[in-house]
Amino acid sequence: MPAVQDTIDQVKEIDVDQYKYGFTTDIETDKAPKGLDESTVRFISDKKGEPEWMLEWRLQAFERWQAMAEPTWAKVNYPKIDFQDLYYYAAPKGAEGPKSLDEVDPELLRTYEKLGIPLKEQELLAGVRKQGEPSTLDGDMPEGDPGQRRVAVDAVFDSVSVVTTFKKELAKAGVIFCSMSEALREHPELVRKYLGTVVPQTDNYYAALNSAVFSDGSFVYIPEGVRCPMELSTYFRINEMNTGQFERTLIIADKGSYVSYLEGCTAPMRDENQLHAAVVELVALDDAEIKYSTVQNWYPGDKNGKGGVYNFVTKRGDCRGNSSKISWTQVETGSAITWKYPSCILRGDNSRGEFYSIAISNGYQQVDSGTKMIHLGKNTSSRIISKGIAAGFSDNTYRGLVSAHRKATNTRNFTVCDSLLIGNNCGAHTVPYIEAKNASSHFEHEATTSKISDDMLFYCRQRGLNEEEAIALVVNGFVRDVLQQLPMEFMAETQKLIGISLEGSVG
C-alpha cells in the first residue's frame, strides 16, 4: 500500500535540501600535503608524537592497503575515488595545546554551538570551565537532578579531537575518556593491547586505509565493575575541503562494567564529495555491556546528488567475555553514500548482540547498511530490528548476516527488517544472509509487519485501534523504547524520524 501523507511530510522535512548543518567555518588549519604515500603516514604519526610501534603498525597497514582492491559488492554507485586528491590530515591550529575549553578557538566553539550538539549546552560548557576547581565540581551539576542529563563530549574537528569535557570527573570513577592521540601518549599499553583486535588492519579496504592514516578519534576504557557515571559522546565534524576524515574509536568495557556511548556527525555543504572512513572497535569483557548509538547526519549532497559525504565505515563489537552485551542503535539520515555494517562477534558464552536501525534516504542518497551477528559462543542471542525508508531517487539496502558456528549451540536470533518506499523512483532492497551450522540454533527472519506480534495487535484492535494504527503503535513503541535512551540532545534530532508510521511497509 502507498505511504500516507503524514509519513511523506515527515520525510520531506528532513529532505536533503534542508540540510541545516551545511555551513563552513573559517578557521586556520594545519594540513598535511595532499596525496597519500608512506611519507603521509609518517607525517601523521610524527605530528601526533606516536610511539615507534604505532608507526610500524600504520606502515604495515598501508603496505597491505596498496595491495587491496576497492570492494564493489555493495549496491552503491559512485565514481572512482582518487585517493591522491585528498588531504589526509587537517587540524585546527592551536588545537594541540592543553584541552581546556578556554584555550579552544572561539570560532570552533561557535561552530559547535551552531550545530546544536551537546557542546552547545551552555550548562555543560560551564561545567567544563569549572573543572579546574574541584570544590565546585560536584555543585555545578548536582547528581540525581533529573532535569539535566550529563554527557561527556569528545569533539573531533576534521582530523583531531579539539576538546573532551568532564574528563576529571570521569577520571574519579576510573574511566578513561580521551582522544586517541592522547590515549597513545598516556595509556599506550591499553591501546597496544586492544587496537586492531576487533577490526584487523587488513579487514577490508577502508579499514586498512583507516589503519594507515587514522588521525584521531575517541578512546574509552571502563575499569572492572564500573558503571560509567554519564553518557559519553563524540561529535564529528568535517570542515576542510577535500579532506578525508579517518577517525578510529576504541571502547573497552572491562569485566562487569557498563557504558553508553553516542556519536553524531555533520559536514558542510560542498560540491565535492568528502570521504569518511572510520573504524570503531568495541571490546566487552565478562558481564560488561556497551551501548553504542549513532545519529549520522553527514551532508547528503544537494537535491541533484551533487556533493555529499562518502561514509565507508567499519564498526564491530566483540563480546569477548561471557554474558557480555553489545547493542548498536543507529539513525542514518545523512551521507551521499553509506556503507556501514555495525556487527557483533558473540564470542563469549551467553553473550548478546543487538542492532536497531532506522535508515532514511532521500534525494540521490545510497544506503547499503545492516549488521552481522556472528554467533561463536554457546547460548548466545541476537536481535536485529531494521527500518529502511527510501524517498526521492535514493536506494536503501539492508544487508545483513546471521551465522551460527558449529559449536554455538542453543543460539537464538530474531530479525525484522522492513522498508518503506515513498515515491516511485527509489528502491528498497533486502539482502539477508542466514547461515545456521548446528541444529539447536533457532533463527527467525521476518519481514512482514503483520507477524510481529499477533497478540499485541489483537489487544490494540480490541481497544478500538485499526490494524494499521496498531502496527504503527507496536513497532514504534518498540523502537521508541530504544531511542528514548539517547540523551535529550539527540532525541530532538531523532524524534521526527521516530514518528514516521510504518504502514505500507514492504519486506
Partner 1 sequence: MTTNVEIMKTKAEKAFAEHFASVSGSLPSDAVALDARQAAMSRFDELGLPHRRIESWKYTDLRNALTVDVPAVGDATAVSAADLDAALGPLAGLDTYRAVFVNGRLDEGLSTLPSMTGVEIGSSSGAPAMDDALAAESIVALNTAFVTGGLAIKIADGVAVDKPLMIVSARAGGSDLLVTTRHDVSVGTKASLTLIEAFASIGGTAGQSNALVTITIADGGRLDHTKVGATVAISDLATWRAHLGNEATYRAFQLIPGAPLARNQVFVTFDGEGSALDFATAAMGNGKDHIDSTIVVDHRAVGCTSRELFKGVLDDSARGVCQGKVIVQQIAQKTDGKQMAQALMLSEDCEFDSKPELEIYADDVVCGHGSTSAEVDPDLVFYCRSRGIPEAEAKVLLTESFVAETIDHVSSESLRDALSEIARNWLAANHTK
- Contact call for residue 4 and partner 1 (CB under 8 A): no
- Contact call for residue 37 and partner 1 (CB under 8 A): no
- Contact call for residue 434 and partner 1 (CB under 8 A): yes
- Contact call for residue 506 and partner 1 (CB under 8 A): yes
- Contact call for residue 430 and partner 1 (CB under 8 A): yes
CA distance 161 to 179: 6
CA-closest candidate to residue 357, choices 416, 281, 432, 279: 416
CA-closest candidate to residue 40, choices 6, 80, 85, 75: 85
- Contact call for residue 81 and partner 1 (CB under 8 A): no
- Contact call for residue 507 and partner 1 (CB under 8 A): yes
* Piece of 223-231, 267-275, 340-348, 419-427 that binds partner 1 (CB under 8 A): 419-427
Q: Which is nearer to partner 1, 41 or 178 (CB)?
A: 41
Q: How far is the CB of 397 from partner 1 (least distance, A)?
A: 9
CA distance 98 to 104: 9
Phi-psi region of 154 (alpha: psi -120 to 50; beta: other; left: phi over 0): beta
Residue-wise DSSP of 309-345: EEEEEEEEEEE-STT-EEEEEEEE---SEEEE--EEE
Q: How far is the CB of 419 from partner 1 (least distance, A)?
A: 7
* Piece of 32-40, 165-173, 223-231, 439-447 that binds partner 1 (CB under 8 A): 439-447
Angle at the Cα of 172 (from 171 to 174), degrees rounded to 5?
60
- Contact call for residue 440 and partner 1 (CB under 8 A): yes
Using CB under 8 A, count the residues that bind partner 1: 42
Q: Which is nearer to partner 1, 3 or 213 (CB)?
A: 3
* Piece of 10-18, 53-61, 414-422, 478-486 that binds partner 1 (CB under 8 A): 414-422
355 and 386 in contact (C-beta within 8 Å)? yes
Cell numbers of 385, please? Answer: 530490528
Residue-wise DSSP of 163-226: EE-SHHHHHHTT-EEEEHHHHHHH-HHHHHHHTTSSS-TTSSHHHHHHHHH--B-EEEEE-TT-
500 class by beta-carbon count within 10 Å (0-12 exposed, 13-18 middle, 19+ buried): buried
CA-closest candidate to residue 100, choices 187, 167, 29, 171: 167
CA distance 80 to 168: 45
Q: Which of 18, 39, 66, 304 binds partner 1 (CB under 8 A)?
A: 66
Phi, psi of 134 (to 5 degrees): -60, -30
Q: Which is nearer to partner 1, 131 or 409 (CB)?
A: 409
Distances (CA, A) of 320 to 274, 288, 376: 34, 9, 10
Q: Which is nearer to partner 1, 74 or 259 (CB)?
A: 74
Q: Which is nearer to partner 1, 258 or 414 (CB)?
A: 414
DSSP 8-class letter at 159: T
Residues 156-195, buried b or exposed e (16+ Cβ, 10 A)?
bbbbbbbbbbbbebbeeeebbbbbbbbbbeeeeebbeebb
7 and 501 in contact (C-beta within 8 Å)? yes
- Contact call for residue 82 and partner 1 (CB under 8 A): no
- Contact call for residue 436 and partner 1 (CB under 8 A): yes
Q: Which of 94, 140, 432, 452 binds partner 1 (CB under 8 A)?
A: 432
* Piece of 297-305, 337-345, 360-368, 430-438 that binds partner 1 (CB under 8 A): 430-438
Q: How far is the CB of 362 from partner 1 (least distance, A)?
A: 14
Q: Which is nearer to partner 1, 227 or 442 (CB)?
A: 442
- Contact call for residue 209 and partner 1 (CB under 8 A): no
Helix (H, G, I), strand (E, B) or coil at 352: strand
Q: Which is nearer to partner 1, 215 or 505 (CB)?
A: 505
Q: Which of 108, 232, 282, 421 binds partner 1 (CB under 8 A)?
A: 421
Q: Which of 51, 94, 305, 427 binds partner 1 (CB under 8 A)?
A: 427
- Contact call for residue 67 and partner 1 (CB under 8 A): yes
**Residues 442-471 interacting with partner 1 (rule: CB under 8 A):** 442-448, 451
Cell numbers of 186, please? Answer: 598516556
List 410's β-bridge partners, or say none. Answer: none
Q: Which of 406, 461, 466, 495 binds partner 1 (CB under 8 A)?
A: 406
Q: Which of 230, 251, 373, 428 binds partner 1 (CB under 8 A)?
A: 428
- Contact call for residue 429 and partner 1 (CB under 8 A): yes
Q: How far is the CB of 78 from partner 1 (least distance, A)?
A: 19
- Contact call for residue 422 and partner 1 (CB under 8 A): yes
Beta strands in 333-460 (DSSP E): 337-340, 343-346, 352-361, 366-369, 372-375, 381-390, 395-404, 412-421, 427-436, 442-446
- Contact call for residue 389 and partner 1 (CB under 8 A): no
Q: How far is the CB of 346 from partner 1 (least distance, A)?
A: 17
Q: Which is nearer to partner 1, 69 or 102 (CB)?
A: 69
Q: Which of 1, 26, 146, 455 binds partner 1 (CB under 8 A)?
A: 1
Q: Which is nearer to partner 1, 164 or 204 (CB)?
A: 204
CA distance 474 to 16: 29
Residues of this chain that interact with partner 1 (CB under 8 A) are 1-3, 66-67, 69, 73, 406, 409, 419, 421-448, 451, 504, 506-507
